[in-house]
Structure 1
C-alpha cells in the first residue's frame, strides 16, 4: 500500500463524510434579506415621497425664503432689495402700533380658543344624550365648520347691521340700543369673536363627542353604584379621560385661531381704527397693501416663532399631565 492511499474499508465500516460531499451553502436567503431594506425604502418613497415633496416645496421652502426676505428691505415687484439685517425686527418691536396689535391678537386667541373649547364640550355633552333628532342636531352643529369663511363673514354682516339686522331687532324688543358694531373697535372685536365661535365650535364639539363615546361605561356605572352623582362622575372620571383630547384641541385650535384671516378680511378688514387687526392680518396688510414684503416677512417669522414656542411648551410640559 503506497503512501497517501486509504486502506479498503472492512465490511460494516461507515466512511466519514468528505468535504466534497458536504451540501453547498444556500446564499438565496441572505440575498433576500439584503433586498428587503431596498424594497422597504422603495415602498416608503412610493407612498410618502409625494407628500414629502409637497411639504418641502410648499412649506419648508417658503419658510426659509421668508426668513431670508425678513432681512431685506424689499417691496413687492421691485427688482432691488437692500440687506438690513435685523432692521425689520427692530422696526416692529419699536412700532407704536405693535402693542395694540399684540393685545388684539391675545384677546382674540384666548376668547376663541377658551370659549370654543367650553362651548364645544357643552354641545358634545348635549349631543351625546339619546334624544330625538340627535343626528340632525349633530349635522346642524358641524355644518358651519365646512362653510367658506368669506361667505360666513358676509352673511353675518347683515345679522349685525345696526339698523336692519336681526341682532338690533332682538335688542330693540328688550329696550336695548344696538351697539355700533362697525365703528366701535371694542364691539367690532366682539363681533368677530362671536362669528368665529359660531363657525368653528362644531369642530370642537365633533372631536369631544367622539371622545365621550369612547369613555368606558362601566367606570361611570361603577361610580354611580358607589354613590357618585352626575357632576362628581364627570369631574372625577370623564373629564380626566378627556385630557388627551383636550390637549389635542388646545394645540389645533390655538394654531387655527392665530392664523385666522378670512373672517376679519370679509367683515372689518382690520378696522375700525385697527381694532380687529391681528398679527396675521398685519402680515397681509404690510405685504400686499403697503408692499413691504421684507417687513411682512419679519412679522410672519415672529408669529411663527411664537407658535413654535407655544407648541413646544405644550408638548413638553402639558403632555405629561394628560397622557397616562
Structure 2
C-alpha cells in the first residue's frame, strides 16, 4: 500500500534571519553616518554662528556685564523687566513696525507690477528683466553709499530733479519727517531684485493654456490677472511677504550707514537699538534681552502668517 508523501518548504534558520536583520541594521547605520558626514559642515557652521550665539544671548540676558562684556552679577529677569518698561524700547518697536509698513507692501507691489510688465512678449524684454533684477547683485553697503550720494544735501540728483519741477529741495536724511521714508525707499530698491525674480518665476510657471482659454472666453487683461495670475502665484506672494517682513525686522546696515538711528531717533529701529545698548553703551545684558524679545516677536509673527495667510494660498 502506497503512502501519500507531501513536501513542505524547510523553515528558515534563526541564524539566517538574524544575519539578515544585522545586515539591514548595518546598512541603515552606514546610510545615517554618510548623511551626518555630509551635514557636518553645515551643522558646524550653524552651531558656531547660530546656536552658540543664541545660547550665549540667553545666558547674558540674565546677568549684568561690565564694559568688557564680562559677567558682573546675576540679574534674573530684571533685564527683561527693564526692557518691557522702557519707553525707548516701545518707540523703537513702533518705528520698526512703521518701517515694515513702508517697505514690505510697496516692495511687493512694485515687484509684482514690474514682473507683470516684463513677462509680456515685447521688444527688449530680456534687457528690462536684467535691469530689474540688477539690485540683487548690489550689497547693502554699496547700495547705501549710492543712495547717500542721491540724498546728499548739495549734490543730490533727486533734489536737482525736484528743482527742475519747481519743488523745494528735501532734507532726505536730516529731516525727522523724511529720514525713515528715505531709508524705506532705499530698502525697497535693495530688495527689488530678489522680489522681482521670485515674482517673475512664479508668473512664468503659469500655463499658457489658461491665458488662451480666458482670452477665448472674452476675459480682459486686468480680469485675467486678478482671477488667474494672482491665485496661481499666491505661493510666491506668500513666500516674499514672510521673507520681507523678517528681513525688515533685521535691517541694520543701511540705517547705520545713512542715519545712525537719527535724526532725533526717527530711524532708531529695534535692531539698531540693540546695537546701541550692547556695543555702544556696553549693556550686553539689556541688549541680549532685547534680542531674545525680537526673536520671539519674529517667530510669533511668522507662525501667525502661516496660520492665517497660508489658508489663502493656492498650490497647483
- Report matched runs for 1:175-324 at 5 Å: 175-324=166-315
- 204-213 or 311-320: bigger deviation: 311-320
Per-residue CA distance 1:123-143 (angstroms, 9 max, x = gap): 111121222222222222222
> Where do 5+ consecutive residues of structure 2 fail to align?
none
Larger Rg: 1
Per-residue CA distance 1:164-193 (angstroms, 9 max, x = gap): 210111111111111122321121111101
With over 3 angstroms needed to count, the CA separation of the structure-2 counterparts of 1:38 and 1:165, relative to structure 1, is same
Equivalent residue for 2:135?
A: 144
With over 3 angstroms needed to count, the CA separation of the structure-2 counterparts of 1:24 and 1:227, relative to structure 1, is closer
Equivalent residue for 2:101?
A: 110
Give, in whole Å, the separation in 2 of the partners of 1:99 and 1:214. Answer: 43
What SS does the corresponding residue of 1:164 show, helix, strand or coil?
Answer: coil
Residue number among 111, 115, 122 corresponding to 2:113 in the alignment? 122
Q: Check the 8 A contact 2:255/2:261 in 1, yes or no.
A: yes
Give, in whole Å, the separation in 1 of the partners of 2:300 and 2:58. Answer: 17
With over 3 angstroms needed to count, the CA separation of the structure-2 counterparts of 1:17 and 1:273, relative to structure 1, is same
Give, in whole Å, the separation in 1 of the partners of 2:103 and 2:253. Answer: 15
Query: Do residues 163 (structure 1) and 148 (structure 2) align?
Result: no
Runs of 4+ in 1 over 3 A off after TM superposition: 12-19, 22-32
Q: CA RMSD in A?
A: 2.2
With over 3 angstroms needed to count, the CA separation of the structure-2 counterparts of 1:16 and 1:153, relative to structure 1, is closer
What SS does the corresponding residue of 1:179 show, helix, strand or coil?
Answer: coil
What SS does the corresponding residue of 1:81 show, helix, strand or coil?
Answer: strand
Residue number among 137, 142, 145 corresponding to 1:154 in the alignment? 145
- 96-105 or 75-84: bigger deviation: 75-84
Give, in whole Å, the separation in 2 of the partners of 1:254 and 1:125. Answer: 22
Equivalent residue for 1:55?
A: 46
Equivalent residue for 2:122?
A: 131
Give, in whole Å, the separation in 2 of the partners of 1:60 and 1:104. Answer: 28
With over 3 angstroms needed to count, the CA separation of the structure-2 counterparts of 1:71 and 1:323, relative to structure 1, is farther
TM norm structure 2: 0.91
Q: Check the 8 A contact 1:76/1:287 in 2, yes or no.
A: no
What SS does the corresponding residue of 1:151 show, helix, strand or coil?
Answer: helix
Q: Check the 8 A contact 1:171/1:178 in 2, yes or no.
A: yes
Give, in whole Å, the separation in 2 of the partners of 1:189 and 1:168. Answer: 17
Per-residue CA distance 1:262-318 (angstroms, 9 max, x = gap): 111111111111111100111111111111111111111111100000011112222
How many pairs were matched up? 312
Give, in whole Å, the separation in 2 of the partners of 1:102 and 1:174. Answer: 37
- 28-37 or 198-207: bigger deviation: 28-37
Deviation at 1:82, TM superposition (A): 1.4
